[in-house]
Structures are given as structure tokens and as C-alpha cells.
Amino acid sequence: MPSNYDVQFNPSMEADKSSDDAIALDSLVESHATPPPPPAIDYGISPTAPDETRGALITGTVLIPAGQSGPIQVLPRDDERRHLILRVTGNAADSPLLGDDASKVTSNMLGYPLPLSADIPIPWHTGTVWVGLATPATADMRIAYVSVTR
């Protein structure tokens, strides 16, 4: 130790509990070096439970030109589809038909007649969606759809 220091190290002070500084310093030192493990946090998420809060919004428009009468597939099969809304606009003289198979929309006996300019909700239908006309369209017809899928 350099000679210009007046204070000498006193090893007996390490265990001197009568010193106020030693008591304060000892209270700040933990008794063990390994910290306790963090508490387990339950986030309420099960890895096997489906997430019903998330999904995709799919929108579009299909055009049936004037003069066409054959079936048109509006949407393909989607096993994750939760909701579907259709709106058909066109000439009031035309009678569009809705079905889940192309053969059902070519006959008035098998297809469901769609009203024009009205929202048609179809919840939980996961199959294909076909629209067609039994007779050729007199004017262009538009089929707008909104689908919610997971």
C-alpha cells in the first residue's frame, strides 16, 4: 500500500455488526445467489382450442354477362367459412338461381331463386356456391359476396 495513505485496512471490520454501515450493507445483500424461478403465468390459451376470434374477410364480385345462362361458380368449397352474404343486382326480368352444385342452378326445380338487390345471408355454408340462370340474362348481372372464414 502506498505510504501516503493514513488509513490501513482493518480485516476485523468485515464482521463488525456494531457498525451502522455494515448492518445497512448486509441488509442489501441477498442470502443466496440463485434467484427464485418466476411464477407461472396462465394466459388462458390452450394449444388445442381453436381461435374463434380471428378470421379473414373475403369479398368480391362476379359478373354474369347479358346472354349467358350457364352456371358460374361464385366461391369454392371452404371448410373454414363461417358466414356468407350474397347480393345480386341486375334486370328484374332475370331469375338467378343459387345452389351448391352446378347442375342445381340450371333448372327452376332445383335451384333456390335469389331476390335482386337484397342481402342474402348464408351462415355456416362451407360448400361451393353456384349461381346460374334457367334462361339467358337480359342484362349484365353482378353477384357481390362477403365471406368470413377462419
Question: What is d(CA 115, CA 122) in angstroms, rounded to the nearest whole number?
Answer: 14
Instruction: Say what the pTM is.
Output: 0.60
Q: 56-149 architecture in CATH?
A: Sandwich (2.60)
Cα–Cα separations (whole angstroms), residue 120 to 42, 77, 112? 42, 18, 11
Here the cell at position 50 is: 381453436
| pLDDT in the model for residue 15 | 55
Render pLDDT for 49-101 as a digit per residue (tens, 0 to 9).
Answer: 555 667 889 999 999 899 888 889 999 999 989 899 999 998 888 888 888 88
* Domain ranges for the chain: 56-149
Specify the 3-state DSSP secondary structure of 122.
coil
Q: For residue 114, what are the contacts with CB-CB under 8 A and spacing of at least 6?
A: 86, 88, 96, 97, 98, 120, 131
Here the cell at position 119 is: 342481402
